[in-house]
Amino acid sequence: VQLPEILIILRDAQGNIVYQWRHRTEAGSVPAQGEIAFTTARSQLPATAQNLEVRLAETP
The full 3-state SS of the chain, as one line of letters, equals: CECCCEEEEEECCCCCEEEEEEECCCCCECCCCCCCCCCCCCCCCCCCCCEEEEEECCCC
Sequence ranges of the domains in the chain? 1-39
End-to-end CA distance of the chain: 17
Query: HSE (CB half, 13 Å, CA atoms) of 29?
Result: 4
pTM for this one?
0.59
pLDDT tens-digit profile, the chain (60 residues): 677 788 888 898 898 998 888 877 776 777 777 777 666 666 677 788 888 888 877 755
